[in-house]
Amino acid sequence: MMKDVMDAFNVSDNSKVIPIKQGLINQTYRCTDENNDLLLQQVNTNVFKNPLALQENYNTIYEHLQQKKNVFQIPKLIKRINNELLYRHDDGNYWRAFSYIANSFTFEKITNEQSAFEAAQCYARFSAQLADLSFTLIQYTIPHFHDLSFRFRQFEEALAGAELSVKKGVANEIEKIFHHRYIPEFYHFITSQPQRFRKYIMHHDCKISNILFDATNNKIVCPVDLDTTMPGYFFSDLGDMIRSMGNNLPEDSTRLEEMQLNSEIIQAIFEGYSNEISPYFTPDENTWLPFSGHILTYMQALRFLTDHLNKNIYYQVNYPLHNADRTKNQLQFLQLLLQWKPWPE
């Protein structure tokens, strides 16, 4: 199978193929020979129903960034003969290829405040660079992706359809989701005030591992994994950074008594992000920016819990209670965020 894919992108048979472990969604391999160094990636079509939309968005973003001076260069898409952006294997799977940026590396885990600051600055600059790109040129690769009202409805449906025994096992978590109901209510308020809260093109997956660093000087090269880059509200990117980098434990750790909120890292993220983005945001967005982490952490707990109730149809799991454990972890982190900066009246 791999050979067909390699042939499709003109990768020679004697290339060195290394699987790249990243994320919960796509399968990626690095292929290297004397002439080429590229990433082959299988698109997860359960998640991304329209793989061509991913590729077209990528091209649009790539070309838009090319026109800007002195900004990061994102990896180039490798096209097939006759300019095709995707390869569809006989087994129905879709594959694509990117150039591998030489001498780059990613962090799995944030280690210091300086990198957190720079990563946040990078994601903010990315949105800023795309601020003059018309929304009509970007396709919604996952409709309602960070739409908290929609996520709440999905949760309610999953709850209605779940087996009693499954529900009983996560009764506490279900209760907490309802307890923090004011968060989806605040989201509803945001969406009902279009003058005060606008949309911007956001990355929507701002993990530290989605940033390439230069191995020589440790400077940031560019953000990668642009599949969910599309219009969204002010909280998405900052919120996901706080959620994913501000927690001292991995998002599926069960050692909850050891969980700590890393306030220095969160402050660095906040500064790096808000310094760059504030001029673009409305006064209301700037006021509510510090609560981005609460919204995203709640949304992630909701998504993991929904998937657990649905018996794990979306996220990859290593054991049956994996999504339940992820939910507990995210709810604990939400609790720490609330204690750190109390939600206003």
Residues that bind ligand GN1 (CB under 6 A): 23-25, 47, 142, 205, 228, 251, 300
> Could you tell me the smallest distance in angstroms from the CB atom of residue 205 to Mg ion?
4
Nearest to residue 59, comparing CAs of 171, 142, 138, 177? 138
Per partner kind, with CB cut-offs from 5 to 8 A, the member of Mg ion, ligand GN1, none near residue 300 is ligand GN1
Instruction: Give CA–CA dist 184/178, Å, rounded.
Output: 10
Question: CB nearest ligand GN1: which residue?
Answer: 23
Task: Return the one option of Mg ion, ligand GN1, none that residue 24 interacts with (CB less than 5 to 8 A, by type).
Answer: ligand GN1
Binds 118, which of ligand GN1, Mg ion, none (CB < 5 to 8 A, cut-off by type)? none
* 225 contributes a contact to Mg ion by CB under 5 A: yes
Q: Which residues of 242-262 are buried (b: 16+ CB within 10 A; e: fewer)?
A: bbbbbbbeebbbeeeeeeebb
Among residues 293, 135, 281, 273, the alpha carbon closest in space to that of 196 is found at 281
- Among the candidate windows 15-23, 193-201, 264-272, 279-287, which touches Mg ion by CB under 5 A? 15-23
CB neighbourhood size of 22 (10 A): 17
* Binding status of residue 205 toward Mg ion by CB under 5 A: yes
Residue 47, binding choice from Mg ion, ligand GN1, none, Cβ under 5 to 8 Å by partner class: ligand GN1
Nearest approach, Cβ of residue 2 and ligand GN1 (Å): 21
- Minimum CB–partner distance for residue 230 and ligand GN1 (Å): 11
Where does this chain touch Mg ion (CB under 5 A) — which range of 193-201, 217-225, 298-306, 330-338? 217-225
Listed ranges 17-25, 47-55, 189-197, 238-246: which one lies at the site for Mg ion (CB under 5 A): 17-25
Judged by CB, which is closer to Mg ion: 33, or 252? 252
CA-derived radius of gyration, the chain: 20
In this complex, which beta carbon is closest to ligand GN1, that of residue 205 or of residue 325? 205
Encoded tokens for 46: 């359960």
Tell whether residue 23 is a contact of Mg ion (CB under 5 A): yes
Beta-bridge mates of residue 16: 32
The β-bridge relationship of strands 200-202 and 230-232 is: antiparallel
Cα–Cα dist 125/211, whole Å: 13
* Shortest distance, position 267 Cβ to ligand GN1, whole Å: 22
Task: Write down the least CB distance from residue 20 to ligand GN1, Å.
Answer: 12
Q: Does 290 bind Mg ion (CB under 5 A)?
A: no
- Taking the least distance from each CB to ligand GN1, the nearer of 251 and 325 is 251
Q: Which stretch binds Mg ion (CB under 5 A): 33-41, 148-156, 199-207, 290-298?
A: 199-207
Taking the complex as a whole, the smallest distance from the CB of residue 173 to Mg ion amounts, in Å, to 24
Nearest to 332 by CA among 267, 256, 228: 256
Residue 225 beta carbon to Mg ion: minimum distance, rounded to whole angstroms: 5
| 276 touching Mg ion, by CB under 5 A | no
3, burial (CB in 10 Å: exposed 0-12, middle 13-18, buried 19+): exposed
d(CA 132, CA 124): 14
Rounded distance, CA 221 to CA 224, Å? 10
Please answer whether residues 71 and 102 qualify as being in contact, where contact means their C-beta atoms are separated by less than 8 angstroms.
Answer: no
Residue 225 or 285: which CB sits closer to Mg ion?
225
Nearest residue to Mg ion by CB is: 205
Written as one letter, the residue type at 230 is M
Sites of contact with Mg ion (CB under 5 A)? 23, 205, 225
